[in-house]
Amino acid sequence: MSVRSTARSVRAMLRIGFLDAIAYRGETIVWMLSTTMPLVMFLLWSAAADGKPIGRYGAGELHASFLAAFVVRQLGGSWAAWQINMEVRDGTLGMRLLRPVNPIVHYAIEQAAHVPVRAFFSMPVALLFFALDPLIHAPKEPLLLVLFPISVLGAWALSFLMNVIVGALAFFIEQSVKLMDVYTALFFVFSGYMVPLDLFPEPVRVVLDYLPFRYQMGLSVELLTGALSPAVALRLVVQQWVMVALVTLVAHLVFRRGVRHFEAYGG
């Protein structure tokens, strides 16, 4: 597919994705509620701390960390694996393959179009928490604030691409969403979504630097809460984007190989 044909259709694909995302108002709000785990964790960890610090986390750090996790999950999450799995299984993917647009790009734009909708509903909630909680403070280091949106974009890209890889396994196995469930469980534990990453033992933290989970969530949380020095933050963001590049390549290869395997089930 040419870059030209893809570029000229980005706006139209974004528009369709956005309109599709807002087609069901009720469903959107219910779905949003299902992603409020960090707010629940916020309460749980606060109760567990009982006023005493856990590791480096006092009440203020815990509050800031889980509020940031909520924000990053809304802006950096992707759920493409379920869509890809379904389209491969029922053959609808065939209709997508007939169009002169790279299907991964098409999925990416459709998924990206959902982000503003999620932001519209979730950011007021986050801002309200931020305004009402005296223990949460805005980060003071300007570089971290500059790196934050870059890291959220990287988090979204990684999240989407991991979804593509796992979703595309539906070309080879019957139900790739089961694998996505496993991946999501690992993500919950090792990304900083449910447990701040600093609370893991040092050897685990070293391993996590080479896995995608931290870059899908924890890094952006650490930037927003001012938990990193500028030098470390910069290094980690670079590492994140190197990982994005590698995972892009893997996603492309897996999907391309999968399409060769595509049997266009269901007539």
Note the residues at the interface with another protein (CB under 8 A). 1-2, 5, 8-9, 11-13, 15-16, 19-20, 23-24, 91-92, 94-101, 260, 262-264, 266-267
Tokens of 242: 């190197």
Distances (CA, A) of 116 to 15, 25, 170, 218, 229: 12, 14, 29, 21, 30
Positive or negative CA dihedral for 120, 124, 125, 129? positive
As a whole number of Å, the CA-based R_g of the chain is: 19
Closest to another protein by CB, 12 vs 189, is 12
Please state, as a whole number, how many other Cβ atoms lie within 10 Å of the Cβ of residue 3: 9
At closest approach, how far in Å is the CB of 223 from another protein?
A: 36
The 8-class DSSP code of residue 170 comes to G
Closest to another protein by CB, 201 vs 266, is 266
At closest approach, how far in Å is the CB of 82 from another protein?
A: 15
At closest approach, how far in Å is the CB of 46 from another protein?
A: 40
Closest to another protein by CB, 182 vs 264, is 264
Q: How far apart are CA 231 and CA 229, in angstroms?
A: 6
The interaxial angle of helices 103-112 and 230-261, nearest 10 deg, is 130
First to last CA, the chain: 26
At closest approach, how far in Å is the CB of 255 from another protein?
A: 13
Contact call for residues 243 and 215 (beta carbons, < 8 A) = yes
Instruction: Specify the DSSP element, H or E, that contains 217.
Output: none
DSSP readout, 98-115?
A: TSSS-HHHHHHHHHHTTH
At closest approach, how far in Å is the CB of 200 from another protein?
A: 35
Contact call for residues 224 and 151 (beta carbons, < 8 A) = no
Closest to another protein by CB, 13 vs 177, is 13
Closest to another protein by CB, 27 vs 181, is 27
Contact call for residues 43 and 59 (beta carbons, < 8 A) = no
Closest to another protein by CB, 19 vs 232, is 19
Closest to another protein by CB, 241 vs 262, is 262
Tokens of 137: 């403070």
